[in-house]
Every structure is written in structure tokens, then in C-alpha cells.
Amino acid sequence: MTTAPSIILTRLDVQRLEQLIDRLGDEAPGVAALQAELDRAEDVVGHDEVPAGVVTMNSSVHCREQGSGKDYHLTLVYPKDANADEGKISILAPVGSALLGLQVGQHIDWPAPGGKTLKLELLSVEAQPKDGGPFSL
């Protein structure tokens, strides 16, 4: 596995995600990976300071899997709002926590079924709510 890229998070996202972690507890699926992402953030900024090409909660993104060239259009959401058929990916899913804070042009490793690892490149942030977007636990 490659070294994870540096990430930028917003204060509001960190606050809301810490509330989610507190509510779910340390043993809930996906919480440890999410906490690791929060812990490694290099910059925590206000929503009005986040660069346009950074994935925040409720951002819609365009990614490409490098091996197959397959494109994905995903929206990073809280667990209650997740719906894979609509491309709404939970922050607690491995790809969800890996996308958080990523900047356009960066790559992540996405654990796939069968022990395979896919490499995703973030091509664009198609929509990034400036107010943090909807929040529901």
C-alpha cells in the first residue's frame, strides 16, 4: 500500500464527524479508519477557506480507477444518507473515509472485494457545499 496523501479538512466537518464517532463508539465498522483520517489532517480550515478542489462532506466528486479506466461519480455523505445506487457513499465506507480531504490530482488505494486494491485518482470536485451541507446522524 502506498503512503496516504496529505489532506485538508474543515473545522465543521471535523466537529460533525467527531460527534458521529462519539455516538457510534470506537468499535463500530469504519470508525477506526475515519478517526485515522481525522488524526492525519495536515490543515483544518473554515469552510470559507477550503480550496475548491478539496473533498469535504457532501461533496460530489469524479474519480477514475487507474487499472480499468472506469469513472465513478460519488457524493460523500453521512451514514444515514448513504445509497450506493445513487452514488452516495458513507464516510464510514473505506472509500468514503479515504476520499475525505483529498485534493484533485491525488490518488487513494480503495480496498475492493477479494483482497484486491484499486487505485483511484480524484479528477474533480463537481460540487462542494460551502456551508457543510446537510448533517444527520
Predicted confidence (pLDDT) per residue in 67-97, tens digit? 899 999 999 999 999 999 999 999 999 889 9
CB 120 within 8 A of CB 136: no
pLDDT class of 5 with cuts at 50, 70, 90: confident
DSSP H helices, 1-137, are 11-24, 31-39, 94-99
Q: What mean pLDDT comes out for the span 121-128?
A: 95
For the chain, list the domains and their CATH numbers: 7-127 (3.10.50.30)
Assign 60 to helix, strand or coil. Answer: strand
Is the separation of the CB atoms in 80 and 69 below 8 Å?
no
- Reading the block at residue 22, the C-alpha cell is 462519539
Q: Please give the residue that has the higher pLDDT: either 67 or 110.
A: 67
Please give the Cα distance from 110 to 101 (Å, whole number). 15
What integer pLDDT is reported at residue 1 of this predicted model?
Answer: 44
Cβ 13 vs Cβ 34: under 8 Å:
no
Q: From CA 59, how far away is CA 75, in angstroms rounded?
A: 6
